Structure 1
Amino acid sequence: MGGKDNIFGYADGFDKLLMFLGTLGSIGDGLQNPLMLYILSDVINAYGSSSSSSLSTRDVDKYALELFCAAIGVGFCAFVEGICWTRTAERQTSKMKMEYLKSVLRQEVSFFDTQEAGSSTTYKVVSLISSDANAIQVALSQKIPDCMAYMSTFFICHIFSFVLSWRLTLAAMPLSVMFIVPALVFGKIMMDLIMKMIESYGVSGGIAEQAISSIRTVYSYVGEHQTLFRFSRSLEKTMEFGIKQGFAKGLMLGSFGVIYISWGFQGLVGTYLISQKGEQGGHVFIAGFNVLVGGLSVLSALPNLTAITEATAAVSRLFEMIDRVPSIDSEDKKGKALSYVRGEVEFKDIYFNYPSRPDTPILQGFNLTIPAGKRVGLVGSSGSGKSTTIALLERFYDPIEGEILLDGYKIRRLQLKWLRSQLGLVNQEPVLFATSIKENILFGKEGASMDSVVSAAKAANAHDFIVKLPDGYETQAGQFGIQLSGGQKQRIAIARALLRDPKILLLDEATSALDAQSERVVQEAIDQASKGRTTIIIAHRLSTIRTADIITVIQAGRVIESGSHNKLMQMNGGQGGEYSRMVELQLASNAK
């Protein structure tokens, strides 16, 4: 993607043609004032030379026709300008948005783990797709053509001025510089301040986004005042930049007073040229007016330049993401896809730290073999590394040392999308999307038939409750599945995982957040879903993995015990080990 990192980075041949025609239209649009003034110079001359102090009907018809023709020409150019630039803006920004989101979706999980101060990764992603992309579109469709039209006005006004009265033009230009240069200087200062304000607003936006996305937590802890205080504090810097911007804008507008000096000077020089040099009054007057209009057109372009600068900065941020090469690339087509998967998984001497916490070891010499078709339970205290094993098997992360094997093949050498298609993951808090139950289940396998959806729902013990809902499978789940109970969400998540018919089923605390009745129903669904599959179950409630073929106890990133429930309970001559102690503690806790 390198080399495309400019505002026209995604312009193809058709877009370049549209921009070329749009540029011609912008130049023609900029002729509006110069042409009108040029024609009026002849009108003024004709009026001044008329003995009756009035124009003849023939003169009126002549100049009216010239103005009419100029209006048609300029109007056509403005039409071409508008339609061409708007069309190419839509095309280019659509490509940018697609490439941006495509790049975001191919990033490794660790990219989303980190959060900058006050601005979450989620906010940055949404901001670029919405506000920043819109800024680019506005710049392409409006600001760039407007800026070209103003520049066209500037150059053509001065050309006509030289044609009409080169003496007056040369005399008036230095005074034009006197109000253009300060405006450009203060305009540059304003643009710099605007860029700083945008960065400051990013911090404020991050605070607002985090609060709104976690509104229940804010309400439950009565955190509205604290959120408003943080938001207000973040806006103080923005307000400081705004005050400086207002001061610069005031100085810029104040510098326009030079215009009146220019008018007075032009009147003095013009009188001399007409009375002493014999120049025509209309030409002298319009030449001076053209110089001022040309200078003012530069000032009119400043707001557009500001918007273009903002869009350029947005493009830089956008292409920074588009050009980012992830360490684990989900779009990488390289790698092997096995023709048959038995489902044996092996972790060999795994060492791993999360990228966001590089100094905190998670797995330290982790070794585990999971036979094909068996149910394996992983237990241990919080932070021992249980969920990390699933994250590594899904290749959300890669281990620092060691290898993970699937049927004897290193998963690093397998095609990533194919690997993940063999895995079905159900988390403790399954995420459902704000769409129908049917669409949520279909997320597990694109293009699956309705019969497959129903079969997966039945296998997950979800079909019976779904058909009792008012709209059945078309019932809306609500954002994050808020319209459904915890047990219902879990069963839909299991159905989604089963739809792809995975060879390996991964259950990460799938029943820990449920009440006893919901847990029993979901556990039945899990027992049914795990038949004939390699199943890895992470659980705090040891009752859910009691019947597992193998139970593995993890402590401080290492396997310390492994075996069936009965074997682990009878370790150390019937005294038991760590697993036995955990069972006793949980039984005692339940008895209370």
Structure 2
Amino acid sequence: ASKGRTTIVVAHRLSTIQNADLIVTIKDGMKSLPEVSLLKIFKLNKPEWPSVVLGTMASVLNGTVHPIFSIIFAKIITMFENDDKTMLKHDADIYSMIFVILGVICFVSYFIQGFFYGKAGEILTMRLRHLAFKAMLYQDISWFDDKENSTGALTTILATDIGQIQGAIGSRIGVLTQNATNMGLSVIISFIYGWEMTLLILSIAPVLALTGMIETASMTGFANKDKQELKRAGKIATEAVENIRTIVSLTREKAFEQTYEETLQTQHRNTLKKAQIIGSCYAFSHAFVYFAYAVGFRFGVYLIQAGRMTPEGMFIVFTAIAYGAMAIGETLALAPEYSRAKSGAAHLFALLEKKPTIDSNSQEGKKPDTCEGNIEFREVSFFYPCRPDVLILRGLSLSLEKGKTVAFVGSSGCGKSTSVQLLQRFYDPMKGQLLFDGVDAKELNVQWLRSQIAIVSQEPVLFNCSIAENIAYGDNSRVVPLDEIKEVANAANIHSFIEGLPEVYSSQVGISLRALSNES
């Protein structure tokens, strides 16, 4: 069948390729997003620095509790060697009081840590969602034409990606600070009471660190892959819900269910691989701690027999290292959340740092005092960025004089709506010029240009608020008085209809004009 033809074969396995003149292996062909440091996100939390400072101070205080407890606990164990019951009771009272004091300190410090870090994290999450939504609103219209930026994908960024970022900041930073303090102080105390035994146990620590690095690296890779699959699944789910009536009328529920399930299969396979890596690293890190205890305990007994260490010192080192190991384990447990947060941050900052070609928020450009309404298409050629192989307009030249009514007539896809979108400057021509009163549209301020144009669509899209508010949206530069709103309604021959409604201009439009449909 392929004789005399240029044939391209796409395959997953090399063994399926036969009689090929050229074999090309493609891996990671799509451009990956650059990694984003979480420090870049923390900088957005700068206005909440008092809360972060207080939370950090409380975290450091909490991190000192366990190392201090290791000293107290070792002294309590050796306290029972004393045969003097009076002294034993006296020491017991003192240590009991110390425990009460530690409990009060922990109650206050843990509350401060949780409250202030939680507060800072929630404020940052709200700020990130606001910045992300704002960035979406000001993107080029062509950006929304891309399938990667569908409704489902964008809602996934707002709901999932930013939620994952929150999972690695806020209270999690308090836990990391607490664990770092715990580990550092535990090592210092261990060196003071038994440096030889501490060195032996710490020599095993790089193995745990390597396990954590492997887990973190693998989780980051899986998180990026999962995110792409979940975005595709979100797109399918959103489209299905938006067009549920059509799907039900055509009895295509099963087809969409299967499509959604197939999209999740890749993410499911990634999850199985991820579970194996997490399980192996988690099991090894926890089991290895007890191996270290076995070596340390045997070496500690040897040091005691040699007179180079006291039993109390050995218990202090053991307890301190145990709490340090617990801190390491808790930190490693946060690795998946940290990986997901980095992946979410990469997508978020790719959105925040993308500058639109046509910036509707920019104040640059000319703002003429008047707009006569003379429009000219001069040798305009255009194709949609998402379909560069389909030329919509080819050298269109047309003059529209002020005060004249011009009708664009033609078959579907001939460029009628495209011409109007060029007038609104949703897109710029690939070639040629679009002139307003002799001025190139690219030289005019985008907000000013769009404020001069009134669009009545075949299917008008109104906001779910009152009729007066929808009319007032025509001028966002000021608060439009009701008298002026009524004047505009009269000019549009809709004033009588509005006056016939129970709540007149305060009547709610509703979603998809449902409220007005019920009224009429």
TM-score, normalising length from structure 1? 0.75
Q: Which residue of 2 aligns with 1:27?
A: 60
Q: Does 1:67 align with 2:99?
A: yes
Aligned counterpart in structure 1 of residue 198 of structure 2, from 165, 169, 184: 169
Q: Would the aligned equivalents of 2:197 and 2:299 in 1 still touch at CA under 8 Å?
A: yes
The alpha carbon displacement at 1:111 in A equals: 0.9
Q: Which residue of 1 aligns with 2:156?
A: 127
Q: Would the aligned equivalents of 1:434 and 1:478 in 2 still touch at CA under 8 Å?
A: yes
The alpha carbon displacement at 1:300 in A equals: 0.8
Give the whole-Å Cα distance in 1 for the aligned partners of 2:68 and 2:502.
Answer: 68
Q: Would the aligned equivalents of 2:508 and 2:516 in 1 still touch at CA under 8 Å?
A: no
| Amino acid corresponding to residue 26 of structure 1 in structure 2 | S
| Amino acid corresponding to residue 74 of structure 2 in structure 1 | S
Give the whole-Å Cα distance in 1 for the aligned partners of 2:43 and 2:375.
Answer: 45
The alpha carbon displacement at 1:417 in A equals: 0.1
| Amino acid corresponding to residue 240 of structure 1 in structure 2 | R
Give the whole-Å Cα distance in 2 for the aligned partners of 1:176 and 1:139.
Answer: 24
Q: Tell which has more relative contact order, 1 or 2 (C-alpha 8 A, sep 6+).
A: 2
The alpha carbon displacement at 1:274 in A equals: 3.4
Q: Would the aligned equivalents of 1:187 and 1:252 in 2 still touch at CA under 8 Å?
A: no
Q: Which residue of 1 aligns with 2:422?
A: 392
Q: Would the aligned equivalents of 1:27 and 1:148 in 2 still touch at CA under 8 Å?
A: yes
Aligned counterpart in structure 1 of residue 400 of structure 2, from 334, 349, 370: 370
Q: Does 1:113 align with 2:145?
A: yes
Q: Which residue of 2 aligns with 1:78?
A: 110
Q: Which residue of 2 aligns with 1:41?
A: 74
Q: Which residue of 2 aligns with 1:574?
A: none
The alpha carbon displacement at 1:470 in A equals: 4.7
The alpha carbon displacement at 1:321 in A equals: 1.5
Aligned counterpart in structure 2 of residue 200 of structure 1, from 219, 223, 229: 229
Secondary structure (helix, strand or coil) at the match of 1:290 reads helix
Distance of aligned partners of 1:36 and 1:155 in 2 relative to their CA distance in 1, 3 Å threshold: same
Q: Would the aligned equivalents of 1:207 and 1:231 in 2 still touch at CA under 8 Å?
A: yes
Q: Would the aligned equivalents of 2:152 and 2:237 in 1 still touch at CA under 8 Å?
A: no
Give the whole-Å Cα distance in 2 for the aligned partners of 1:131 and 1:29.
Answer: 31
Deviations 1:152-186 (A, max 9, x none): 21111121222222232223334455555435434
Give the whole-Å Cα distance in 1 for the aligned partners of 2:397 and 2:56.
Answer: 66
Q: Would the aligned equivalents of 1:44 and 1:281 in 2 still touch at CA under 8 Å?
A: no
Gaps of 5+ in 2: 1-35
Gaps of 5+ in 1: 489-592
Larger Rg: 1
| Amino acid corresponding to residue 379 of structure 1 in structure 2 | V
| Amino acid corresponding to residue 202 of structure 2 in structure 1 | M
Secondary structure (helix, strand or coil) at the match of 2:147 reads coil
Aligned counterpart in structure 2 of residue 218 of structure 1, from 235, 244, 247: 247
Give the whole-Å Cα distance in 2 for the aligned partners of 1:55 and 1:74.
Answer: 28
Distance of aligned partners of 1:360 and 1:182 in 2 relative to their CA distance in 1, 3 Å threshold: closer
Give the whole-Å Cα distance in 1 for the aligned partners of 2:434 and 2:231.
Answer: 40
Give the whole-Å Cα distance in 2 for the aligned partners of 1:3 and 1:442.
Answer: 43
Percent sequence identity over aligned pairs: 29
Q: Which residue of 2 aligns with 1:434?
A: 464
Question: Over the residues paired in the alignment, what is the CA RMSD in angstroms?
Answer: 2.8
Deviations 1:513-555 (A, max 9, x none): xxxxxxxxxxxxxxxxxxxxxxxxxxxxxxxxxxxxxxxxxxx
Distance of aligned partners of 1:368 and 1:177 in 2 relative to their CA distance in 1, 3 Å threshold: closer
Q: Would the aligned equivalents of 2:194 and 2:313 in 1 still touch at CA under 8 Å?
A: yes
Distance of aligned partners of 1:55 and 1:260 in 2 relative to their CA distance in 1, 3 Å threshold: farther
Q: Which residue of 2 aligns with 1:137?
A: 166
Q: Does 1:88 align with 2:120?
A: yes
Q: Would the aligned equivalents of 1:193 and 1:245 in 2 still touch at CA under 8 Å?
A: yes
The alpha carbon displacement at 1:420 in A equals: 0.5
Give the whole-Å Cα distance in 1 for the aligned partners of 2:43 and 2:244.
Answer: 39
Q: Would the aligned equivalents of 2:216 and 2:335 in 1 still touch at CA under 8 Å?
A: no
| Amino acid corresponding to residue 81 of structure 1 in structure 2 | Q
Q: Which structure has the highest strand share of the two?
A: 1
Q: Would the aligned equivalents of 1:434 and 1:477 in 2 still touch at CA under 8 Å?
A: yes
Q: Would the aligned equivalents of 2:379 and 2:433 in 1 still touch at CA under 8 Å?
A: yes
Q: Which residue of 2 aligns with 1:457?
A: 489
Give the whole-Å Cα distance in 2 for the aligned partners of 1:122 and 1:316.
Answer: 19
Q: Which residue of 2 aligns with 1:229?
A: 258
The number of residue pairs the alignment matches comes to 482
Distance of aligned partners of 1:355 and 1:487 in 2 relative to their CA distance in 1, 3 Å threshold: farther
